[in-house]
Amino acid sequence: MTSEQSEGLRDRQMRERRARILEAAAQLIRERGAAGLSMRTLAQRAEVSLATPYNLFGSKGGVLMALQFGALEKLEQASEQLRARDPIEQVLEVAHLGARIYTGDPSFWLPLMQAHWLARGAIHESPLHPRIVSLWHRALQAGVEAGRLIPQANPQFVARMLVIGFYGVLVMWIQGNLDGEGFRTHVLYGFVLTLLGVATPAARPNLMKHLQQLEREMGGDSGRLRTPPPPKRAIRKARLKVV
């Protein structure tokens, strides 16, 4: 076996171990929630040494980041498939798909995101990660070049605002303040409002149609904010006060 073949074999084995660890992590999160995921239990479930997850991901936060990027990879693939469409519609389609990915599998994404944001350092790296920002940056740049967005608009800064808006709605969904449809409508409504601020006159009529449709949807149950129930400890304190 040549050195090139040996190196290729090591790379393939590393990718296989990495995939096995991520699959095991997803299983543990679905079965036990965030508390059930530790590097030791992860290594046991993936049938690798305890050192292997640390070598490949660095920390539990690294594992959670890699799992989250699974959604990003789906969105990147969708973005490539939609590149022939109107740039503004591409931005909205990818946002819609992003909301559906999270809300379509809440037993996985809710505990994953909760654990991810509690892990040391994870929240500081994730929301404005260059890969996430670039997801919408390219479509926005294409929108400027196609005359759909004003030339004064900075695609990088607009993309950041879209990411910040998406994650803000994601937090509300995680906290139980929005249901799945509320997640989708609020994400898209925020995106449309942002795009209206930088759209050319030719692009505004279609954006206004989106805005009006979303307002009709948000006027129903799917758009209403929900108040999560208070924790049991708070309920006990309230009862003691009444007595």
pLDDT at 33: 83
Same domain? For 82 and 182 the reply is yes
- Compute the CA torsion angle 194, 84, 145, 130 (nearest 10 deg): 60
Confidence of residue 74 (pLDDT cuts 50, 70, 90): confident
Task: State how far the Cα of 63 lies from the Cα of 29, in Å rounded to an integer.
Answer: 12
Same domain? For 51 and 110 the reply is no
Same domain? For 137 and 170 the reply is yes
Domain count, the chain: 2
Instruction: For residue 221, give the CATH number of its domain.
Output: 1.10.357
Which residue, of 58, 83, 104, is where some domain finishes?
58
pLDDT tens-digit profile of 174-231? 989 999 999 999 999 999 999 999 999 999 999 999 999 999 999 865 455 555 555 5
pLDDT tens-digit profile of 104-129? 999 999 988 887 666 554 444 555 67
pLDDT tens-digit profile of 160-172? 999 999 999 999 9
pTM confidence score: 0.79
Same domain? For 49 and 123 the reply is no
User: Domain range for residue 76?
Assistant: 61-243
Task: State how far the Cα of 197 lies from the Cα of 34, in Å rounded to an integer.
Answer: 39
Q: Count CB atoms within 10 A of the CB of residue 239.
A: 9
Same domain? For 102 and 26 the reply is no
